[in-house]
Amino acid sequence: MRRPWAAFVVCASLLVTAACADDGTRSSSALRTLGDDPATMCSPTSGTASGMTVSIEGVRNRSEKPVTVVKAELTNAVQVRVLGISALGQDSTTPFGGFGSWSGYPPRGLPTEWRAAWKRREPAEGAVIPPQHGRDEYTGFVIGYAAVRGSAGPLRITYKDGDGRQGSVEMSTILTTSPHCRGPFPGYQGFGRTPIESGASE
């Protein structure tokens, strides 16, 4: 004989499960990466573990509420020392703040407008990212690191959205360093110069 209460227990369990999936425990998808094509960036070094600065990763907050970065982590670091990870908000009212790849941390030889962008960066962890729906609105991440021969990445950003849900996004670039690198990417010409190889200073 089938017991009616057994069916009730099953239904109640399903309802509880559905409620749990809707009570804020779901992971957030507020942040989206600007690109998802895997890439390897090779930065030439002089044979000493001098600092380098790269800014090639970014996210966009597609939600309607601000999100807060909880953790910024350069994963899978092998013989790489992370010197700092900063966030740099970008919108249509601010000059372009991309750095590419530069020698030194802080970076040396930045053009004037990029120097201004460097000054307005903030620590990635704790940074608040507003809703970003415009074409020119996004948040970039500036990574400082030191290595002779090493690799690290991708960058992982863990955050909490405006509804209290946690989420994470992984970028798509692996950073490598070696004295034998000829430039960050095949055919790289730099932004008016080849920054790391030039060793230019302000």
Residue 6 lies in a domain: no
Contact 45, 148 (CB under 8 A): yes
DSSP summary character for residue 165: -
pLDDT in tens, the chain (202 residues): 545 444 433 333 433 333 343 444 589 999 999 988 888 988 888 777 778 999 888 999 999 999 999 999 999 999 999 999 999 998 877 765 566 788 889 988 888 878 888 888 999 999 999 999 988 899 999 999 999 899 999 999 999 999 999 999 999 999 998 888 876 544 444 433 333 333 333 3
The tally of domains found in the chain comes to 1
Residue 7 lies in a domain: no
Residue 70 lies in a domain: yes
Strand partners, 170: 156
Helix, strand, or coil (residue 193): coil
Contact 52, 196 (CB under 8 A): yes
Residue 21 lies in a domain: no
pLDDT of residue 55: 87
pLDDT of residue 74: 96
Distance CA 46, CA 27 (A): 43
pLDDT of residue 66: 98
Q: Could you list the residue range(s) of the whole structural domain that residue 72 is in?
A: 27-198
Residue 20 lies in a domain: no
Residue 89 lies in a domain: yes
Quote the distance between the C-alpha of residue 131 and its chain's center.
17
Residue 1 lies in a domain: no
Length of the chain: 202
Among the listed residues 200, 175, 182, the one whose alpha carbon sits nearest the alpha carbon of residue 114: 200
Residue 18 lies in a domain: no
